[in-house]
């Protein structure tokens, strides 16, 4: 199986290419195509993970359905047969890894929910005892469960490479108090429902990030949702606060890049077959555990 690193949809207007997704304009809507590109340390690597885009898309579709009672989402259809005629010649590139979605005015804040202390939250806590300015009790460890889930918004830096944690008051300044309050409510409600489902599957949802937009019909959930690219899923039976937890993400990739002492500057290196295969299997296992289904790539 070959990794799809770049899409080519002929005359269909390309809006942009992100680290993973290619975005096209189509008949007043948008087409999101998840490629098999993989990034680490803010660089897209030379080697992709075959099928990764399909896995991410199918996980997002699962969650959009499960969470639909809380908030509407941007999905129009993921059935390629229902796409406009101009896209049909490219069905082989689109099948299983694309979504036709509504256009929305996106809020300039990433809505992060944290149920456990990890990542940038842990780094901040070690230094100041806070996460996004929220004071926490002393004595917590890397991986500790928080007393209650936190809403910790973030903004993109100007170069688009890093998320920058901000306080809720800063989010209010960016969004207005009413929208900031509603996005906090939605984020925590979505996190709680997703965390409860993950727990029923033997997984811990340590943290995740959502992106929201606004249409004429109101606020909608957009982009990808609760995938291993945007969330930390941990094995519940292996959870031991005090250090990094076994996770369902691209940790194999990060570990390999650290082991070869890559300087984290472009050009990014490729990956050996073993790391590619193990990473693909982790993503597939996340899909199977979360959905209860098997995915044929």
The enclosing domain of 189 has a CATH number of 3.30.470.20
Report pLDDT for 157.
61
Average pLDDT on 211-219 reads 97
Report pLDDT for 249.
83
User: Do residues 114 and 39 both lie within one domain?
Assistant: no
CA atoms within 13 A on the CB side of 116: 26
How many domains is the chain built from?
Answer: 2
Task: Mark which of 81, 103, 125 sits at the end of a domain.
Answer: 103
Give how far Cα 199 sits from Cα of 40, 74, 246, Å: 27, 26, 15
Compute and round to an integer the Cα radius of gyration of the chain.
19
Report pLDDT for 158.
54
CA atoms within 13 A on the CB side of 93: 17
> What is the CB neighbour count within 10 angstroms for residue 287?
22
The model's pTM is: 0.94
| Backbone torsion region of residue 292, taken as left when φ is above 0, otherwise alpha when ψ lies between -120 and 50, otherwise beta | left
Length of the chain: 297
**273-291 and 251-259 helices, crossing angle to 10°:** 160
Confidence band (pLDDT; 50, 70, 90) for 26?
very high
Given a cut of 60, is residue 159 above it in pLDDT? no
Give how far Cα 99 sits from Cα of 17, 60, 116, 179, 233, Å: 15, 10, 31, 27, 24
Q: What's the CATH code of the domain at 39?
A: 3.30.200.20
Report pLDDT for 296.
87
Report pLDDT for 163.
77
Residue 288 lies in a domain: no
Given a cut of 60, is residue 257 above it in pLDDT? yes
Given a cut of 90, is residue 70 above it in pLDDT? yes
Do residues 226 and 208 lie in contact, with contact meaning Cβ atoms separated by under 8 Å?
yes
User: Do residues 42 and 114 both lie within one domain?
Assistant: no
Structure tokens at 58: 């199918």
Task: Mark which of 66, 85, 103 sits at the end of a domain.
Answer: 103
Average pLDDT on 171-180 reads 97
User: Do residues 96 and 41 both lie within one domain?
Assistant: yes
Report pLDDT for 250.
85
Give how far Cα 177 sits from Cα of 6, 102, 111, 114, 294, Å: 40, 25, 15, 21, 43
Parent domain of 230? 106-238
Confidence band (pLDDT; 50, 70, 90) for 129?
very high
Do residues 205 and 193 lie in contact, with contact meaning Cβ atoms separated by under 8 Å?
no
């Amino acid at each position: 199986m070959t990794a799809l690193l770049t899409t080519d949809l002929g005359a269909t207007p390309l809006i942009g290419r992100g680290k993973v997704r290619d975005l096209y304009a189509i008949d007043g809507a948008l087409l999101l195509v998840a490629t098999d590109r993989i990034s680490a340390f803010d660089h897209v690597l030379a080697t992709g993970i075959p099928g990764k885009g399909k896995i991410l898309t199918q996980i997002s579709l699962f969650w959009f359905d499960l969470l639909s009672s809380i908030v509407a989402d941007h999905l129009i259809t993921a059935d390629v047969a229902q796409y406009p005629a101009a896209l049909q010649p490219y069905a082989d590139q689109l099948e299983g890894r694309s979504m036709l979605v509504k256009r929305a005015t996106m809020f300039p804040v990433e809505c992060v929910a944290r149920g456990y202390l990890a990542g940038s939250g842990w780094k901040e806590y070690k230094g100041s005892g806070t996460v996004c300015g929220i004071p926490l009790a002393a004595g917590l460890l890397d991986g500790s469960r928080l007393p209650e889930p936190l809403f910790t918004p973030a903004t993109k830096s100007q170069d688009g490479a890093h998320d920058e944690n901000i306080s809720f008051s800063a989010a209010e300044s960016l969004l207005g108090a009413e929208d900031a309050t509603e996005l906090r409510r939605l984020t925590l409600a979505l996190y709680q429902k997703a965390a409860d489902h993950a727990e029923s599957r033997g997984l811990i949802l340590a943290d995740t990030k959502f992106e929201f937009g606004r249409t004429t019909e109101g606020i909608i959930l957009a982009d990808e949702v609760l995938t291993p690219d945007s969330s930390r899923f941990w094995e519940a039976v292996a959870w031991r606060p005090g250090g990094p937890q076994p996770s369902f993400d691209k940790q194999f990739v990060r570990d390999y890049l650290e082991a070869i002492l890559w300087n984290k500057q472009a050009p990014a290196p490729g990956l050996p077959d073993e790391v590619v295969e193990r990473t693909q299997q982790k993503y597939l296992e996340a899909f199977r555990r979360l959905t209860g289904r098997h995915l044929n790539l």
